[in-house]
């Protein structure tokens, strides 16, 4: 069974600084997607960034970028120039390509200090 592990239950960062959230996963598949979702307090979960496993280049979306290490099964999220609005719970997720469900980690609560 596929598992996703987020080893940092809580992280904090100073506004305008950079923070990295960690994620490891376990799979025997070769073709899959990886995601980072953001869940602000009392609001719906939204996609931050996604990575296709066959792509070697790390995905970037504005201030958000990932470090995808396929052999190590590691998928970390870097948030640059952190803003107060980045405060949320962040979930790493995995999905087999052409399959249905996504499997989520237990999340990392990010606090941004002004």
Partner 1 sequence: DTGVSQDPRHKITKRGQNVTFRCDPISEHNRLYWYRQTLGQGPEFLTYFQNEAQLEKSRLLSDRFSAERPKGSFSTLEIQRTEQGDSAMYLCASSLRRLAGGANTGELFFGEGSRLTVL
Query: What are the structure tokens assigned to 7, written together?
Result: 């080893």
Give the single-character DSSP code of 85. G
Q: Is residue 97 part of the contact set for partner 1 (CB under 8 A)?
A: yes
Q: Which stretch binds partner 1 (CB under 8 A): 12-20, 63-71, 74-82, 93-101?
A: 93-101
Q: Are strands 24-26 and 10-14 parallel, antiparallel or unpaired?
A: unpaired
Q: Contact letters (x/-) for partner 1, 23-62, by CB under 8 A?
A: ----------x-x-x-----xxxxx--x------------
The DSSP symbol for 65 reads E
- Is 75 among the residues that bind partner 1 (CB under 8 A)? no
Find all residues with CB under 8 Å of 39, minimum gap 6, and list them. 45, 46, 88, 89, 90, 91, 107
User: Binding residues for partner 1, per CB under 8 A?
Assistant: 4, 6, 9, 33, 35, 37, 43-47, 50, 91, 93, 95, 97-98, 100-107
């Amino acid at each position: 069974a596929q598992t996703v592990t987020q080893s940092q239950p809580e992280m904090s960062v100073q506004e305008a600084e950079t923070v990295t959230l960690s994620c490891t996963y376990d799979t025997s598949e070769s073709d899959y997607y990886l995601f980072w979702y953001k869940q602000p307090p009392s609001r719906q979960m939204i996609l931050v960034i996604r990575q296709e496993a066959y792509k070697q280049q790390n995905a970037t979306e504005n201030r958000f970028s990932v470090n995808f290490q396929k052999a190590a099964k590691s998928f970390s999220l870097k948030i640059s120039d952190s803003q107060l609005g980045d405060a949320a719970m962040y979930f790493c997720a995995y999905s087999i390509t052409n399959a249905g469900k996504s499997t989520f980690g237990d999340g990392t609560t990010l606090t941004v200090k002004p």
